[in-house]
């Protein structure tokens, strides 16, 4: 099974497996100065809850890539992102 959205791709390592390979979107600057967004290196064999956590952290990091944030702001945004990801299935049914 593959779960894919605009900022990540998670692929189950085998049918019925509890482990996933994850690619997160990354911003890459080429030698000519152009900036592109593409899926980065694979994180192999992680459980689905880790996929969700890493996607949430990546979304927060991309939002704040130019500036530091404090722990309270990070935790507030962390909760929001986790809720968004967790509630996807509730809103589809």
What would the pLDDT profile of 37-54 be if each residue is shown by its tens digit? 888 889 999 999 999 999
> Taking all residues of the chain, what is their mean pLDDT, rounded to a whole number?
88
Stretch 55-74: mean pLDDT, rounded? 92
Q: CA–CA separation, 8 vs 54, rounded Å?
A: 10
Tally of CA atoms within 13 A in the half-sphere of 10 that contains its CB: 18
Task: Give the domain range for residue 16.
Answer: 2-92
Residue 93 confidence (pLDDT) above 50: no
Q: What is the pTM of this model?
A: 0.80
Q: CA–CA separation, 31 vs 6, rounded Å?
A: 25
Number of domains in the chain: 1
Three-state DSSP class for 33?
coil
Stretch 73-77: mean pLDDT, rounded? 95
Provide the strand spans (E) within the chain: 2-5, 8-12, 19-29, 35-47
Element spanning 52, H or E: helix 48-63
């Amino acid at each position: 099974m593959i779960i894919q959205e605009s900022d990540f791709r998670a692929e189950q390592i085998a049918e019925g497996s509890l482990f996933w390979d994850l690619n997160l979107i990354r911003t890459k600057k080429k030698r000519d100065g152009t900036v592109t967004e593409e899926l980065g290196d694979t994180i192999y064999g992680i459980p689905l809850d880790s996929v969700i956590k890493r996607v949430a952290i990546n979304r927060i990091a991309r939002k704040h890539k130019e500036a530091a944030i404090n722990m309270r702001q990070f935790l507030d945004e962390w909760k929001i992102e986790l809720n968004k990801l967790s509630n996807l299935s509730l809103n589809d049914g």
